[in-house]
């Protein structure tokens, strides 16, 4: 979308009512004819704009399309989203982000898609990615950390999603170790990191973030192995995907800046406060083999789960599914 058209949309949203053509043309420094042309291109994109000669223009509704310039105008980030690619359809945004990172994409580059035909989930599972309803997003980061520290970054994504849920709904999100965001015990977001690394450092890491925003009950796959939901199903109101994406990327940027200057500590602290297992007894299915249970103590510097067993020993768990007892 043309930058001026984008500014007109922003003006309409800021004013909230009728905005005169004269005011728009003065604010943008363009002719009334140019304003009219931008309005007409916005209408072509599906925005409904009322025009009354004596009063001006009023934005009635906008299509829920994901558009990079619409997200961009809402970003106030240092790194995240400085390069932003919005795709109508792709196989997997994580694969796209990995490819552009290999080709030299800058830190903070983001790939967002309206739909994914091969959305990747954890453990080789498929991430259901229907068009027009959810957020499928991948972010390229290039921190100077060792490969074993890379899992720390998933915790940033989880906290960013939780903060965005709080700012866009009345819901209270919880985080489940290591990387699910839940509402009322049901999953609304999944996170999948992929990285390119050498023994002495990482080249880049891709933070893959999938959030079920406006998915309806019939759109979930029948064979889902865990309870899942969407913000629409939980709150009864649709979430603006553009707004959610921008808020989440802004939060991720802040968390990442904090991570670069102060390390994992602050994120870890917030993550632990938001964790559904905080101070509770949990059972861990360790990669499908062994069941362990104990008191959830927190996570260590590498993001491993710390479990206190009956004899007081602290055990470190790096893999597995956690269930609060």
Residues that bind ligand BTN (CB under 6 A): 92-94, 116, 119-122, 125, 127, 136-138, 180, 190-192, 208-210
Between CA 54 and CA 156 the distance in angstroms is 50
CB of 97 to ligand BTN, least distance (A): 8
112 vs 299, which CB is nearer to ligand BTN? 112
CB of 54 to ligand BTN, least distance (A): 48
> Which H or E run contains 100?
helix 93-102
122 vs 308, which CB is nearer to ligand BTN? 122
Between CA 140 and CA 206 the distance in angstroms is 5
Between CA 266 and CA 269 the distance in angstroms is 5
CB of 55 to ligand BTN, least distance (A): 43
Which pair of structure tokens corresponds to residue 319? 């893999």
139 vs 299, which CB is nearer to ligand BTN? 139
CB of 139 to ligand BTN, least distance (A): 10
Longest alpha-carbon distance in the chain: 79
Between CA 1 and CA 70 the distance in angstroms is 8
62 vs 134, which CB is nearer to ligand BTN? 134
Between CA 134 and CA 322 the distance in angstroms is 26
Note whether 126 and 145 are within 8 A (CB).
no
Contacts of 79 (CB under 8 A, 6+ apart): 107, 108, 253, 256, 257
21 vs 121, which CB is nearer to ligand BTN? 121
Q: Which residue is nearest to ligand BTN (CB)?
A: 190
| DSSP tag of 90 | B
CB of 191 to ligand BTN, least distance (A): 6
178 vs 298, which CB is nearer to ligand BTN? 178
CB of 276 to ligand BTN, least distance (A): 15
Between CA 81 and CA 75 the distance in angstroms is 8
42 vs 215, which CB is nearer to ligand BTN? 215
CB of 134 to ligand BTN, least distance (A): 8
First-to-last alpha carbon distance for the chain, in angstroms, is 51
Which pair of structure tokens corresponds to residue 250? 């802004």
């Amino acid at each position: 979308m043309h930058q001026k058209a984008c500014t007109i949309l922003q003006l309409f949203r800021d004013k909230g009512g009728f905005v005169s053509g004269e005011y728009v043309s003065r604010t943008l420094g363009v002719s009334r004819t140019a304003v009219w042309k931008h309005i007409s291109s916005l209408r072509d994109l599906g925005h409904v704009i009322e025009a009354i000669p004596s009063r001006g223009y009023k934005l009635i509704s906008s299509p829920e399309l994901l558009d990079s310039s619409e997200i961009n105008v809402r970003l106030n980030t240092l790194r995240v989203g400085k390069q932003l690619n919005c795709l109508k359809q792709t196989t997997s945004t994580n694969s796209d982000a990995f490819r552009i990172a290999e080709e030299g994409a800058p830190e903070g580059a983001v790939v967002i898609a309206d739909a994914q035909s091969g959305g990747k989930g954890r453990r080789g599972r498929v991430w259901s990615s229907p068009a027009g309803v959810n957020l499928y997003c991948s972010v390229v980061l290039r921190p100077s950390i060792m490969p074993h520290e890379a899992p720390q970054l998933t915790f940033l994504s989880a906290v960013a999603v939780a903060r965005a849920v709080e700012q866009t709904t009345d819901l209270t999100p919880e985080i489940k170790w290591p990387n699910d965001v839940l509402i009322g015990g049901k999953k609304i977001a999944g996170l999948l990191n992929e990285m390119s690394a050498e023994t002495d450092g990482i080249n880049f890491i891709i933070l893959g973030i999938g959030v079920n925003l406006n998915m309806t009950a019939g759109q979930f796959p029948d064979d889902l192995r865990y309870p899942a939901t969407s913000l629409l199903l939980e709150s009864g109101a649709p979430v603006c995907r553009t707004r959610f994406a921008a808020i989440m990327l802004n939060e991720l940027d802040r968390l990442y800046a904090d991570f670069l200057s102060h390390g994992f500590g602050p994120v870890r602290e917030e993550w632990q406060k938001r964790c559904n297992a905080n101070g509770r007894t949990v059972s861990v299915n360790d990669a499908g083999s062994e069941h362990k249970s104990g008191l959830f103590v927190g996570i260590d510097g590498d993001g491993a789960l710390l479990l206190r067993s009956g004899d007081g020993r602290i055990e470190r768990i790096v893999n597995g599914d956690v269930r609060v007892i």
